[in-house]
A and B are shown apart, each in its own frame.
Chain A
């Protein structure tokens, strides 16, 4: 999973590319660590090229969402592929993460 983080004014854009699974979840956790440390985060994930996530990925998105909520920030995930979105739907994550 390639992660590209860019800052545009107050907004943090994160482009995800590839597969998020048990082999690279640890690295992904390190990649998104800077997002856990922001005051009033405003994070937008572009999931156009996110191919897959296992439960290892889901747990990290939940950790991040908890962190964002605690810091009164916001987070959205956009352009998610239908098969990836289904995983978020089945687990109820679509109700706690804003997916557009």
Chain B
């Protein structure tokens, strides 16, 4: 499936639900929990960074290849590779831990693979998860 949202401001919940409603999504509750979380973090990332709070579009999609589910997000905002960011130091004390910066880290931990490309003026983020 592929769905385009424009504008995207205030549509985070709708975008998440559209992806979760895809026929490609597994039925297993534990997997759905993790996929929902990764979808929310990835969508939030686009809403927060791609258009610097302004408006634009996002195209989200899902497809299956073998045992693997792919979730894709594309936007035409400024080039921004969320995977470039260093992982947080999860051994720090509460006092030393910075607030935030956990969204994409959670995706990296919960998905099997994350890929980013900037092509034809678009940020393309792909998340892959074995759903067998």
Contacts and interface: CB of A to CB of B under 8 A. Distances in A.
Do A and B associate with each other? yes
Contact of A54 (B30, B37, B88): B37
Interface string B22-43: 0000000010011011001100
Contacts of B90: 91-92, 95
A58 B91 contact: no
Contacts, number: 61
Contacts of B41: 54-55
Interface string A41-66: 00000000000101110110011011
Contacts of B21: none
Nearest to A70: B95
A6 interface: no
Interface residues of B, number: 26
Interface string B94-132: 110101101101100110000000000000000000000
B75 to A, nearest CB: 17
Interface residues of A, number: 22
Contacts of B67: none
A90 interface: yes
Interface in A19-57: 21-23, 52, 54-56
B94 A69 contact: yes
Contacts of B103: 54-55
A96 B97 contact: yes
A66 B33 CA distance: 28
Contacts of B40: 21-22, 54
Contact of A59 (B37, B94, B99, B105): B99
